Amino acid sequence: MARIELRGISHTYAGGTPALKPLEMVWEDGGSYALLGPSGCGKTTLLNIISGLLRPTVGAVLIDGKDVTRAPPEERNIAQVFQFPVVYDTMTVFDNLAFPLRNRRVPEGEIRKRVEQIGELLEMSHQLGRRARGLSADELQKISLGRGLVRKDVAAILFDEPLTVIDPHAKWLLRRKLKQIHQATPVTLVYVTHDQVEALTLADRVVVMNEGSVVQQGSPEDLFERPAHTFVGHFIGSPGMNFLPCTVEEDAAVVGAHRVPLDANVCAKARVAKGPLVLGVRPEFLRRVEPESRGAIRTTVSHVEELGTHVIASASYSGGADEQDPKELKVKLPEGTKVRAGETLWLELPLSRTTLYADGQAVSGDAAVRAESHG
């Protein structure tokens, strides 16, 4: 029902540093998107610009091709679910759900039909006659969501950290409900969250933000397997990506005394790239290999964490220009692996799972991928 376009949006709060650096974005109709980033990254600012609670300093917001930059929230056909449940607690659940419709003077018969429909979708039919006060947090959040769904004209629903107040063990139930609703209705959903699980679970496409700018936009797989920026590699996945300072010689990255073969195109680009070079590889993709294997690096285990489902070993290697300066990386090993501190591990960085970063940005051999990652 709605395609949201952001054209050259940027925002600066009165008298302060820029909250949002210029960005372009298109969100397709019926998709589910997430804005993911640590607190203060600008994601809530962006959300408020889309919903109309905030007017951007520069740029335009288009919904279905119509410029709504100056339109107030009520004219945008957008609903929002807030971090803390916003419910009219003197009203019944039914009246809460009916509220947006009544405000728009929808005939009462139609309201009843629509509210009952939504009540069913939310599995709250039996509670419609109840007062909203005293319901549990997840029920209240469902009501907030319902007030958005109940409107036929609603083009998109925005979620601002909607599961903050939900008991951790009940979160997946509400996530499932959100997924089901998205399947059942053609609404565009936008989640704002600092929680990677929430973003990667609920959205088909995730926009990772840091310090007011978008660092990568892509599918959950993209973000995990092909981080376009060191920040994404660090922020997504636990533990985050390992970054090994390196230099590039011919078609290999040099880490300390070791040479890690890389794609020739990548190396060519890296040689002209500015900024420090690091080699990024996730702890789960590092492979244990025979000593002295080609392209592998020698590490010494400094510390082992048995996490039940798997083992995380911290290991030091001598890297970078300074041979004396040991660096540390983490490797994720299967459950029950026996490793001890002091042991030597030879680790291979698989070519397909290793990314070279120059000044934080991924150096890609393939021009197309790089352009895509910048949306």
Partner 1 sequence: MKQGIELDHVTRIVDGETYLSNITMTLEPGGFYVLLGRTRAGKTSLLRLLAGLDRPTTGTVKQGGVDVTRRAAGQRNVAMVYQQFVNYPSLTVFENIASPLRLRKTVSQEEIDRKVRDTAKKLRLDALLQRLPAELSGGQQQRTAMARALAKDAELLLLDEPLANLDYKLREEMRVEIRRLFQGRHDAVVVYATADPVEALLLGGNVIVIDEGRVIQRGATLDVYHTPATERVGEVFSDPQMNVLQVDVTDGAEKQIRFADEVQFPAPAHLKDLPASAYRLGIRANHVRLAQVAESDVRVPAHVEIAETSGSETLVHATHGKTTLTAQVEGVFRVAPGTKIDLYLDARRLFAFEPSGRLAAAPRMDHGTH
Partner 2 sequence: MDKPINHRAWFLVTPVVAIVAFSAVIPLMTVVNYSVQDILGPDQRIFVGTDWFQKVLHDPELHGALLRQIVFSLAILAIQLPLGVGLALVLPREGWRSSLSLVLVSLPLLIPWNVVGTIWQVFGRGDIGLGGVALNALGIDYNYTANALHAWLTVVVMDVWHWTPLVALLAYAGLRAVPDAFYQAAKIDGASRWAIFRYIELPKLSGVLTIAVLLRFMDSFTIYTEPFVLTGGGPGNSTTFLSQYLATIAVGRFDLGPAAAFSLVYFLVILLFSYIFYTAMNSKGEAGK
- Between 109 and 334, name the residue whose CB sits nearer to partner 1: 334
Q: Closer to partner 1 by CB, 59 or 239: give it.
A: 239
Q: Cβ of residue 228: shortest distance to partner 1, in angstroms?
A: 14
Q: How buried is residue 117: exposed, middle or buried, by Cβ count under 10 Å (0-12/13-18/19+)?
A: middle
3-state secondary structure 215-282: EEEECHHHHHHCCCEHHHHHHCCCCCCEEEECEEECCEEEECCEEEECCHHHHHHHHHCCCCEEEEEC
Binding site partner of 172, from partner 2, partner 1, none, Cβ cut-off 5-8 A by kind = partner 1
Closer of 133 and 303 to partner 2 (Cβ):
133
Least distance CB 15 / partner 2 (angstroms):
12
Subset of 195-224 contacting partner 1 (CB under 8 A): 195-197, 200-201, 220-221, 223-224
Rounded CA separation 47/36 (Å): 11
Cα separation of 49 and 55, whole Å? 6
Site string for partner 2, 25-54 (x = CB under 8 A): --------------------------x-x-
Nearer to partner 2 by Cβ, of 52 and 240: the residue is 52
Interface with partner 1 in residues 228-247 (CB under 8 A)? 234-240
Contact with partner 2 (CB under 8 A) among 26, 64, 90, 335: 90
Tell me the residue type at 337.
T
The residue among 85 and 233 lying less far from partner 2, judged by its C-beta, is 85
Contact between 312 and partner 2 per CB under 8 A:
no
**Contacting residue, 92, 164, 247, 337, with partner 1 by CB under 8 A:** 337
For residue 92, what is the DSSP state? B
The strand pair at 354-358 and 258-261 is best described as unpaired
Cα-based distances in Å from 174 to 65, 82, 170, 181, 201 = 33, 15, 7, 10, 12
**What is the DSSP code string of 306-346?**
E-SSEEEEEEEEE-SS-TTSEEEEEEEEETT----TT-EEE
Q: How many residues make contact with partner 1 (CB under 8 A)?
A: 42
Is the Cβ of residue 157 or residue 331 nearer to partner 2 in the bound state?
157
CA distances from 300 to 37, 268, 303, 313, 330 (A): 33, 32, 9, 10, 11
Residues in 135-164 that interact with partner 2 by CB under 8 A? 144, 147-148
Alpha-carbon span 130 to 273, nearest angstrom: 63
Residues 257-286 contacting partner 1, CB under 8 A = 282, 284
Question: Which span (25-33, 38-46, 99-107, 326-334) binds partner 2, by CB under 8 A?
Answer: 99-107
Taking CB under 8 A as the binding criterion, the range among 14-22, 71-79, 177-185, 243-251 that sits at the site for partner 1 is 177-185
Whole-number Å distance between alpha carbons of 73 and 4: 14
CA distance 244 to 280: 6
| Piece in contact with partner 1 (CB under 8 A), picked from 62-70, 82-90, 121-129, 191-199 | 191-199
Our CB check for partner 1 shows the closer of 42 and 52 to be: 42
Closest residue by Cα to residue 187 from 16, 65, 320, 27: 27
**Tokens 């920040």 belong to residue:** 231
103 CA to centre of own chain: 35
The answer to whether the bond into 239 is cis (omega within 30° of 0) is yes
Task: Enumerate binding residues for partner 2 (CB under 8 A).
Answer: 51, 53, 72-74, 78-80, 82-84, 86, 88-91, 99-100, 103-104, 133, 144, 147-148
Task: Enumerate binding residues for partner 1 (CB under 8 A).
Answer: 38-39, 167, 169, 172, 175-176, 179-180, 183, 194-197, 200-201, 220-221, 223-225, 234-240, 282, 284, 305-310, 332, 334-338
